[in-house]
Structure 1
Amino acid sequence: MSPELPSGLPATVQIREVGPRDGFQNEPETIPTAKKIELIDQLMRTGVKRLEATSFVRADVIPQLSDAVEVLHGIDVPDDVSISVLVPNERGLDNALPHRDRFDEIGVFCSASETHNRKNVNRSIEESLAGIDALVPRALAEGIKVEAVIATSFGCPYEGHVDPEKVFGIVRRLIDAGATEIGFGDTTGMANPVQVGRFFTDAIARFSGEVLLTAHFHNTRGQGLANAVAALQAGCTSFESSFGELGGCPVPAGATGNIATEDLVSMLHEMGVQTGVDLPSVLAAARAVAEVLGRPLGSHTLVAGPVEWR
């Protein structure tokens, strides 16, 4: 457990930057591979120690990430940065393993909502979990850490309320499969801070001794940072975010981006919680990706700049 501040907040948290995968996959215009490599190299020198670089998903499903191999072999990874890739199934793992020397972790996923899971991957939850059961031991045998992300953990755009007990049942299944980290995704930004506080209080009480618990919030309804604070106050010390507030679930309409890394870092530092991330460097990376995409981004700190006390 991290040392605590007088406020009761942890002194430090870790952040995984997911923009190069979760963010880029939702961009309609193809981002040149060379530009992806430049941006990832820039991000890896901001102080971020964990970064999700790409995904081994079918090219016809996510054309934007069809250059996964080229990206992995093109980036210049510092020794202290851990690279993860998303693998949707065993075929994805088969395609990733020949490049095992270029990444340290994989992400696998399923939804807590049957409807979302079927719309997202055309499988039932049980079918997805069975696939994860088969995939995780193979990854662990290769020395690869596994984050299992549960999408729609806080609500589903098709089914509405998602019972936390259903989510926790999936967590138990994923831990039993061998997952080393569980990510809870607020996939379409339906969570609120009271709900998040209760959820993480219960999740940490049940599972924190067994597996790393990570919060993954989207800012679809403007509550992403408030939800991050609620998770933090409940004891969560691991977060995922995306520079420039890139991202969003590609399935339902209107599902906008993840919380912005620079907004999260700015807020945490102002609260006295350290991340190891250099805010000006993240802002520079967000400005660079905005230039590549040719449009304004949702990040607030990118517009207003960091707080400067005088």
Structure 2
Amino acid sequence: MKAKPGEFQAIGELGRPVESSLLVIYELCSEADGNHLAGLYKALGNATKYLPGLTTLAFGCSHVPLFHSGTTIPLEVSQGFANAGMRMLPVVGVSDPGPTRTALAVAAAIHGQGAILRHSVGDIGSAVLTAGDVATLSADLGVPVSRLHLVIDFAAAVDAQLAPQTITAAKTQVAAAAVLGSWASITVASGAFPVSISNLQVGVRHDLQRREADLWSAVIFKSRSQVACVHLLTLGSHMQFILIFQWTGVSDKDFDALVDMEDSLELLLDSDHGYVDGHDFGAGEMNIFVYTIGRWRHFEKLKII
């Protein structure tokens, strides 16, 4: 189903509880500088009127640390999100050093309550979180586990032969984390192809349902085109996917060239069968937005069946 040019679909109209909406800015391109990030956040602030279902915005990551590098979100931007009824949470890497976590804890106190904890799983697994790890992280952040959103990221698995081991490792991570405390949520994310997301979801959901834990499954889609991606996700029971591509061009000609991307994206996404690049993502909705030089274009709205 195509959207009219310039039309934005409100997330809250897609049939799932508004309170489950979570928008995550969770990995920014490495060349991004402070001015660029400030422009992105301002554009997001202006776009909130088109995304009324969102309740939480998460920001920052270990790759582009916003706060201990001296970059902060302008007060007027954070106030704009607050006025829209949105919380703002920092994303903290489990491997981040203590001072980084402390700096992000300050940001959490300023911008909202809680935090998102990112735990990366390597190609063939990584250390499973322990109760001691969780206690230390919670203390460093000054945030109880009940307000921590755990993201288990296995984006490192870029080799098809490693996918089975990585899926097993991710299941192990989730199963272990689910019994360590009452997390605000647990998310499984993948930025790698060709990992079988559908197989992972089935196994992880089964493990968590037995523990009555909450799982929001998410997918980070990485473009194979010459586009630097900013990954934004809404997570919820109805599997809403938002893909936001950060276009690096600087001219109107480059901006107009975004229209040409539509054909390439349609080749990657078979909307009749719910496949992206040959992988089944299940039922849901996909929205594609493009941000460039402070302007937004709603590209396409596709129904995945």
For normalisation by structure 2, the TM-score amounts to: 0.58
| Matched pairs, number | 238
Match of 1:18 among 6, 24, 37: 24
Whether 2:55 is the aligned partner of 1:55: answer no
Q: Residue 216 of structure 1 contacts residue 239 of structure 1 at CA under 8 Å; is this kept in 2?
A: no
Q: Could you tell me which residue of structure 1 aligns to residue 127 of structure 2?
A: 125
Whether 2:110 is the aligned partner of 1:106: answer no
Q: Displacement, 1:129?
A: 8.5
Q: Could you tell me which residue of structure 1 aligns to residue 105 of structure 2?
A: 97
Q: Residue 153 of structure 1 contacts residue 184 of structure 1 at CA under 8 Å; is this kept in 2?
A: no
Q: Displacement, 1:18?
A: 2.6
Q: What are the Cα deviations for residues 252-302 of structure 1, in whole angstroms up to 9, with x where unaligned?
A: xxxxxxxx9xxx9x999xx99689xxx7xx85xx3xx31349xxx9x9x62
Indicate the SS of the match to 1:18: strand
Indicate the SS of the match to 1:87: strand
Q: 1:56 to 1:185 in 2, by over 3 A?
A: closer
Percentage identity across paired residues of the two chains: 9
In 1, distance between residues paired with 2:23 and 2:247? 11
Q: Could you tell me which residue of structure 2 aligns to residue 217 of structure 1?
A: 220
User: Unaligned regions of 5+ residues in structure 2, if any?
Assistant: 1-13, 226-234, 249-264, 275-281
In 2, distance between residues paired with 1:31 and 1:292? 14
Q: Displacement, 1:145?
A: 2.0
Whether 2:153 is the aligned partner of 1:170: answer no
Indicate the SS of the match to 2:206: helix
Cα RMSD (Å): 4.6
* Higher helix content, 1 or 2: 1
Q: Could you tell me which residue of structure 2 aligns to residue 229 of structure 1?
A: none
Q: Displacement, 1:73?
A: 6.7
Q: Residue 30 of structure 2 contacts residue 64 of structure 2 at CA under 8 Å; is this kept in 1?
A: no
Q: 1:238 to 1:245 in 2, by over 3 A?
A: farther
Q: Could you tell me which residue of structure 2 aligns to residue 152 of structure 1?
A: 154
Match of 2:48 among 41, 44, 49: 44
Q: 1:104 to 1:157 in 2, by over 3 A?
A: farther
Whether 2:90 is the aligned partner of 1:82: answer no
User: Unaligned regions of 5+ residues in structure 1, if any?
Assistant: 1-9, 118-123, 223-231, 248-259
* Higher strand content, 1 or 2: 2
Q: What are the Cα deviations for residues 46-103 of structure 1, in whole angstroms up to 9, with x where unaligned?
A: 224144443264xxx5266635534467422235323221112343331122331412
Q: What are the Cα deviations for residues 105-143 of structure 1, in whole angstroms up to 9, with x where unaligned?
A: 31222233256x8xxxxxx53589864452136657558
In 2, distance between residues paired with 1:154 and 1:239? 23
Q: 1:141 to 1:184 in 2, by over 3 A?
A: closer
In 1, distance between residues paired with 2:129 and 2:53? 34
In 2, distance between residues paired with 1:214 and 1:205? 12
Q: 1:133 to 1:153 in 2, by over 3 A?
A: farther
In 2, distance between residues paired with 1:306 and 1:127? 38
Q: Residue 180 of structure 1 contacts residue 212 of structure 1 at CA under 8 Å; is this kept in 2?
A: no
In 1, distance between residues paired with 2:185 and 2:140? 16
Q: 1:180 to 1:306 in 2, by over 3 A?
A: closer
Indicate the SS of the match to 2:163: coil
Structure 2 residue identity aligned to 1:85? P
Q: Residue 48 of structure 2 contacts residue 84 of structure 2 at CA under 8 Å; is this kept in 1?
A: no
